[in-house]
A = this chain, B = another copy of it.
Amino acid sequence: MDTAPRPGLRERKKQRTRDALVRSALELFAAQGYERTTVDEIVEAVDVSQRTFFRYFAGKEEAAFAVQEMTESHFLDAVRQRPPHEAPLDALRRAVMASWDTIGEAIEAVVPIELHMRTYQLIESTPALLATHLRRHEGLEEQLARLIAEREGVDVDADPRPRVAVALFGGVMRLAARRWGAGEDFSVAAMRELTASYLDGMGPALTEDWHTRNKRDREDTRDTR
């Protein structure tokens, strides 16, 4: 399973340069904001040319999402490792919880976890980064839908249920993440609590009556003209 015997000097050097660029970028972003940080500042701190930066990253944004990328593929792996007898939403929920317990070390190899947390806050509060983050999130949902469809043995393009389930799950996850970022407690434990509580709220939100209102017969809503 270990397919990395000796990366070779060249490869190691590349990895070091890349990590240094990510670290330098995230530090500068956290210190002075994303927009106010120029690529020239980033490369100057690592002492490489601007052209080199753009050989490692397609754009300034990609550097900001380098660590996110790691956590996402880690989560996907966790989903793949769920036993097939678990129901879809159950497997997703357990995979989230499990991946948070083991992602720490991988992150720390590149940047301090605290910096990663601050980067997440920055993404949520910077419109340009938030937009890209949401697009990436949707890409992740697409991959999740295919995984779920495979688990359940259905055709992801013919059967809407995998995508619907993942959309519900993803929507609630984003809600929890947003609230976590807006709160005070940035610990993993807090995130875990929030996520569990929001996931528990999915069912109740679908039952139509919230306070004292009686259950009413749902007439056909297809056409209101």
A residues adjacent to B (C-beta < 8 A): 85, 87-90, 93-94, 97-98, 101, 127, 130-132, 134-135, 137-138, 152-154, 160-161, 163-165, 167-168, 170-172, 174-175, 192, 196-198, 201-206, 208-211, 213, 216, 218, 221-225
Contact = CB atoms under 8 A, between A and B. Distances in A.
27 contacts: A85-B213, A85-B216, A87-B216, A88-B208, A89-B206, A90-B218, A94-B221, A97-B223, A98-B224, A101-B225, A131-B131, A131-B132, A131-B134, A131-B135, A152-B211, A160-B175, A160-B198, A161-B205, A164-B205, A167-B172, A167-B175, A168-B168, A168-B202, A170-B171, A171-B171, A192-B223, A202-B206
Nearest to A197: B160
A175 B165 CA distance: 11
Nearest to A145: B175
Contact of A213 (B87, B197, B205): B87
A68 to B, nearest CB: 14
A208 B152 CA distance: 11
Nearest to A176: B160
B97 A221 contact: yes
A70 to B, nearest CB: 20
A96 to B, nearest CB: 9
A97 B222 contact: yes
Contacts of A131: 131-132, 134-135
A101 to B, nearest CB: 5
Given A135-B134, A170-B171, A87 B225 contact: no
A106 to B, nearest CB: 17
A186 B154 CA distance: 27
Contacts of A161: 201, 204-205, 210
Which of A153, A197, A224 is packed against the most chain B CB atoms within 10 Å? A224
Contacts of A205: 161, 164-165, 168
